[in-house]
Each structure stands twice: as structure tokens, then as C-alpha cells.
Structure 1
Amino acid sequence: MKLLVDMSLSPTWCDVLKSEGWNSLHWIDVGSSSAPDREIMEFPRIEGYVVFTHDLDFGSMLAATQAKGPSVVQVRTQDVRPASTAPILMPVLRQHEAELERGALLIIDPGRCRLRLLPLTGS
């Protein structure tokens, strides 16, 4: 699985994800820090990346467009530093890797996670 770390998260996430065996890259390495969300979503859709973000807009975009991709992993914790969040994130990513490869929105809150397959519909 390839993960694109969004601007809302530190580039240090790339090293953490790579150490766990995933290909990762930070948006700043491929695009402008002021790029609109739709541009950020286009790159992973074309290149086969899963967006890893703290930004709630990506899930809203998937719902509004009923897109089939890219997959989005949305972490909803106050402390998004790898040292605090990685122990929660890594097992959840492994558990849902197949769904993320096919197209999904994975929302990780403290104490729980929710997975919705794409495209998102009213149900």
C-alpha cells in the first residue's frame, strides 16, 4: 500500500510508515503547500496512493462526489504526532489494508475506527 501524507500531518510520518513496510510520501514532495484539496486528491487517484490526513475535508469530498477513489485514512485525534498516534494507527491500517487498496474511507477516532467502502452513498 502506498500512502500520501497530507500537509495537515508532519513529514516525519513518512519515516514511521516506511519503517512499518509501507511506501509513503509527503505532499510537500510532490505538490504545492497551498494546493487546493481537489488537486491533492487527484494525485493519489492517478498514482494509486491512499491519502493519510487529519483534514476532515477529504471525507466530505468523497461523500459529495461519490468518488470511487482515492481511499482516505482520516485520523481524528488532538495529538497527531507519530509517537502518540502510530501505536493506534498501525494495527488499524494492517487490519483494513485490503479495503483501502480497493477504495475506502477509514476514520480513526480515539478508542474506535469506522470503515466505509467507496463510493459513499446515503446509506
Structure 2
Amino acid sequence: MNFLIDENLSPRVAELLTKAGHDAVHVRDLQATSAPDSTIMTLAAADGRVIISADTDFGALLAHARATEPSVVLVREILELRPPDLVDIVLEHLDVLEPHLETGAIAAFTTTGIRVRALPLR
């Protein structure tokens, strides 16, 4: 999968996802540090990337626009994990999440599981 890692996560997340065989870039690689969330969404959609972030504002923006892309993986509740552990959790569940993310979804990791909502949000 192709990922865009938001600035609230370590660039190490992008590095580890790339090492695992995915195409992952951090917002700093795109000179988009401090860019508005709407810009991050536009960049992700243009490149067919799934955003990985701890920022729940993406859900509100997607709902307001009734958008079907980009997909977002929210890791706010597991943000305290070190990048290798966070990436391991994402990769462990990617086989189940991938079909949803490919068709447009928000997946939120919690301490007890994952919630997935299809886009557009209602």
C-alpha cells in the first residue's frame, strides 16, 4: 500500500513501512510540514495514499466534504507506542484493513481493537 504519514507521527514510521515493502512518505518528505489537513488530504488523494495520523480532524473534514478518499488510519489511542511497535500493529491488521482502505474508509485503532467506517461518512 501507499501511505502518507502525518507530522504528528515520527518519520521513522514511514521508514519502517518502506522497509516492510510499502510505499510510505512522511509529510516532511513532501515539504508539507505544518500544512493544513485539507492540503494533506489533497496530497494523499492525488497520489493514492492512505493517511496515517493521530489527528481526528481528518474524519470531520471527510464527513463535511462527503469525500470518498483518501482513506485514513487513526492511531491516536496507540500513539504512545514506539514507532516499531505502532508499525507492527498496523502491519498485523493490514490484511483485514486493506480491502476497506482501497475502497475508502477510516480505520481507528483503539486499545481494544479497530473500528472501520466506510466513506463517505454520513
TM-score, L = length of structure 1: 0.91
Give CA deviations for 1:23-42 in whole Å, capped at 9, x if unaligned. Answer: 10001111331211111110
Q: How many residues align?
A: 121
Identity of aligned residues (%): 37
Displacement of 1:78 in angstroms is 4.0
In terms of fraction of residues, the more helix-rich structure is 2
Displacement of 1:19 in angstroms is 2.2
Q: Secondary structure of the residue that 1:107 maps to in structure 2?
A: strand
Q: Which residue of 1 aligns with 2:29?
A: 29
Displacement of 1:91 in angstroms is 1.4
Q: Which residue of 2 aligns with 1:55?
A: 55
Q: Which amino acid aligns with 1:99?
A: H
Counterparts of residues 77-92 of structure 1 (less than 5 Å): 77-92=78-93
Unaligned runs of at least 5 residues, structure 2: none
Q: Which residue of 1 aligns with 2:96?
A: 95
Distance 1:95 1:42 in 2: 25
Moved more, 92-101 or 46-55: 92-101
Q: Which amino acid aligns with 2:37?
A: D
Q: Which residue of 1 aligns with 2:70?
A: 70
Distance 1:94 1:21 in 2: 14
Moved more, 88-97 or 101-110: 88-97
Q: Which residue of 1 aligns with 2:13?
A: 13
TM-score, L = length of structure 2: 0.91
Q: Which amino acid aligns with 1:56?
A: T
Q: Which residue of 1 aligns with 2:105?
A: 104
Q: 1:34 to 1:2 in 2, by over 3 A?
A: same
**What is the Cα-based RMSD across aligned positions, in Å?**
1.3
